[in-house]
Amino acid sequence: MTDAYNFSVDKKLLVNSWDEHITEFTGEPASLVKGAKYYHVFPRLFFKDRDAVAFSIEKKRKIILEKYIIHCLFYRVRADVIIKPLLAAKEIAGAAIKVTNVSTCEGYRPEDIQRLIAMGKKASTLAHGVRNPLNALKGAVTHISQKYSQEKVLLEFSRLMQEEIYRLDNFISGFLDTSISDTRSSAVDINSLLKRIEILISFQVNAQNISNDFVYGTIPPALINPFQIEQAILNIINNAVEAINSEGKLTVTTTLEKTSERDFIVVEVVDNGPGVPKNRYSNNTTKRKKGKGFGLFITEEIMNYYNGRLKIQSVKGRGTSAKLYIPAYTAGGTNE
């Protein structure tokens, strides 16, 4: 990779120059980029919870973002970013953006980085956009829990919803906070996390008349961010539920698997749905931007981040088994 990637925008944040190196970095050619809002073709840059480029233009000041986390999935890409206002006839005409000292996780190819960058463009915008409806949900859940305080089942679901909203809000804050150098992890009981999931999906599976069985083995904790692992597991379970016909069966089990490499907590999700062809789960299909392929890509990235793995076996007409291998944690150890 080159040492610097450059582009510039006008006062409306529309791209007016885009060099060949930023094309290589993002996979977006200049011919398609010019005239577009910069944050539609590059992950939006933030400074003090505002658009950094707009802030630079408005305040007429140069902004330097050192070791900035370019919002890709799980903080894969870091860089120094320099935003400098541009003058024309002694007036601010826009800004020049220079990205340097880019660092990525070892083993990532240019096309991988481009895919993460593409996801980052959507993710950072989504993270900001979800804040207002999230606040509305907080108020609605509080109102429901107060109005129906005598309904024990409803109160339990309200409590879980409040916790999930709180965790999502914290996750968004972490995603947008460029000072966070790594994911916040702690020793988590995967069985306890799964028990929450069992409650969360109960309405859906009961409505579809799906039999579900959660079998909890004896397992050690894992050093993880619980929100991320919960999303990884939910992606797999939701795929399974969607695949199962009415009166189908879903089984989720936890076990400990010891290998010469290390010990893994294995979360296995089995359904008796129609199954899918083997190539459906190839790496190529995970590039899909929506649907089950996208969910699988997210889960695979989470597993890779924690040095785990995802293994899927499917037989057409018989069903699918998905295993998430999560490194076990021992006191004083790590997930390395």
Could you give the 3-state DSSP secondary structure of residue 246? coil
Q: Which fold, 184-327?
A: Heat Shock Protein 90 (3.30.565)
At a CB cut-off of 8 Å and minimum separation 6, what does 193 contact?
226, 229, 230, 233
pLDDT band at 148 (very low <50, low <70, confident <90, very high): confident
Q: Which residue has the higher pLDDT, 325 or 43?
A: 325
Take residue 210 and report the two structure tokens written for it.
């799906």
24-27-28-31 Cα dihedral, nearest 10 degrees: 60
Pairing of strands 263-271, 211-216: unpaired
Write the pLDDT tens digit of every residue in 210-241.
999 999 999 999 999 888 899 899 989 988 99
Q: Is 68 left (phi over 0), alpha (psi -120 to 50) or beta?
A: beta
Residue range 4-119 in CATH 3.40.50.9100: no
**pLDDT at 122 > cutoff 80:** no
Q: Mean pLDDT over all residues of the chain? A: 81
Residue type, 274: P
Local confidence band at 178 (pLDDT 50, 70, 90 cut-offs): very low
Closest CA to 69 of 95, 37, 101: 101
- Quote the DSSP letter at residue 45: P
290: pLDDT strictly greater than 60: no
Q: How confident is the model at residue 260 (pLDDT cuts 50, 70, 90)?
A: confident
Would you kindly state where each structural domain of the chain is located, as residue ranges? 4-119, 130-182, 184-327
Q: Is the pTM higher than 0.75?
A: no
pLDDT on residue 228? 85
